[in-house]
Chains A and B, each alone.
Chain A
Amino acid sequence: MDEFSLYVLDITMNSVRAGADEITVSLAEDGDWLTFTVTDNGCGMSKEQVEKLSNPFFTTRKTRKVGLGVPFLTMLAEMTGGGVKITSVPEKNEDGSVNPCHGTTIQGTFGRNHLDFIPLGDMVETVKTLIQGSPEINFTYIHTFPGGHVELKCAELRAMLCEEISLAEPEILMWIGGYLEEQYAGTEEA
């Protein structure tokens, strides 16, 4: 993957598949570092599963035997002097008891000025793709960088539209794309 925004898309898809309905994606650029965090309220993972995640031959999928999402992210983080941390609370413990506050947080730090770091790429397209695929999920997107920040909260948009109108409607998606792009353009001029 040659753009960071594709990593963001790929890693956030894990939260989608975990059945989350609230997902926060944040990018924070500060000094030499980019911190990328995804927090969800999905089904979570046991300690053992979290440990296995860095193994490319671990996946819960039935369609193939490898799972490269987290290993790819870890590779890029470590190549640029950073790392990846994952904390997770499973919805159900092994003894069958239930954790009311379940979910996963994955956080990666990347040396944003490192030679091996890659271009950020089209973050607007990534956010649009996430919403197109799961319009029912409340995504929150926050990107902060020196000189500004860009933000989108699906819950707020949903409150303004009515329930029948899906965020995946092409007109709405186009509006979301324009809304984000104008926020980015506004901060560049500032």
Chain B
Amino acid sequence: MKSLEELMAIKAKMADKVAVRQADGNEIRVVVGMATCGIAAGARPVLNAFVEGVTAAGLAENVTVTQTGCIGICQYEPVVEIYQKDKEKVTYVKMTAEKAQEVIEKHIKGGAVVTDYTIGAAKI
């Protein structure tokens, strides 16, 4: 059984880590649309894939995954936006958990935008 002691152990482990994480201006921000349109189109597993994928890839120090409301392009949901300082915002559309994995590998880790999944490449 997951005990509260286990939670306290995580707390102890994290106390030093939280202090280390500092804004150096190079963070990447992943924003997932989680309004009715996003949720209905399958945004929950996409969000989950980013949260778990970023952690599994050891990128959590530099990458934050957050949620937002409706971006206004409901027909393209699930929509994911990636913000990075001094770079143009990248908007990925019609995302899936599998595509999220690819974006983590190629874009967030490798620095190469996965153009096939961007809004510019999308056909409605």
Cβ of A75 under 8 Å from chain B:
no
Contact A10 B39 (CB under 8 A): yes
10 sampled A-B residue pairs with Cβ under 8 A: A1-B40, A10-B36, A10-B40, A61-B35, A129-B48, A160-B11, A164-B18, A165-B15, A173-B51, A178-B2
Contact B70 A61 (CB under 8 A): yes
Cβ of B115 under 8 Å from chain A:
no
Question: How far apart sit A69 and B36, CA to CA, in the bound complex (Å)?
Answer: 6
Partner of B11, one of A17, A61, A132, A162: A162
- A-B contacts counted at CB < 8 A amount to 91
State which size class the interface on A falls in. Answer: 35 or more
- Which residue of chain B is the closest to A186 with respect to CB atoms? B1
Question: How far apart sit A78 and B48, CA to CA, in the bound complex (Å)?
Answer: 31
Interface of B is mostly: helix
Residues of chain A within 8 A (CB-CB) of B51 are 132, 170, 173
- Which residue of chain A is the closest to B74 with respect to CB atoms? A64
Residues of chain A within 8 A (CB-CB) of B71 are 63
Contact B39 A160 (CB under 8 A): no
Question: How far apart sit A10 and B42, CA to CA, in the bound complex (Å)?
Answer: 12
Residues of A within 8 A of B (CB): 1, 6, 9-10, 13, 17, 61, 63-64, 67-69, 72, 125-126, 128-129, 132-133, 157, 160-162, 164-165, 169-173, 175, 178-179, 182, 186
Q: Mark B58-80, 1 if CB is under 8 A from A, else 0.
A: 00100001110111101000000
Cβ of B99 under 8 Å from chain A:
no
Shortest Cβ distance from A131 into chain B, in angstroms? Answer: 11
